[in-house]
Amino acid sequence: MQTTIGQFSRRVASFGAAVAAVAGTLSAMPAAAETRVSMLVVSGDVSDVSAGFGGAIFGAEPTLIDYVDAIRTVAETDAADALVIRLRDAAIDPTDVEELGAASETAQDAGLKVHLFTEMLGTTEALLGARCDEVIVQAGGPVSLPGLHMEEIFLADTFAWLGLEADMIQVGAYKGANEMYTRSTPSDAWDENISGLLDAQWDEITGAITKGRGLSQKQLDDALASLWFATAEDAVRTGLADAAVDL
**Helix and strand totals (H; E) in the chain:** 10, 8
| Separation between Cα atoms, residue 99 and residue 109, nearest integer Å | 15
Closest CA to 130 of 224, 65, 223, 212: 212
Q: What is the pTM of this model?
A: 0.81
- Give the sheet arrangement for strand 82-91, strand by strand: 2-4, 37-45, 82-91, 113-118, 134-138, 243-245
Return the axis-axis angle of helices 188-213 and 217-226, rounded to nearest 10°.
100
Q: What is the mean pLDDT of each run of 10 residues along the chain (247 residues)?
A: 37 39 42 77 82 46 92 91 95 95 96 97 98 98 93 95 92 89 94 95 97 97 95 98 94
CB 21 within 8 A of CB 133: no
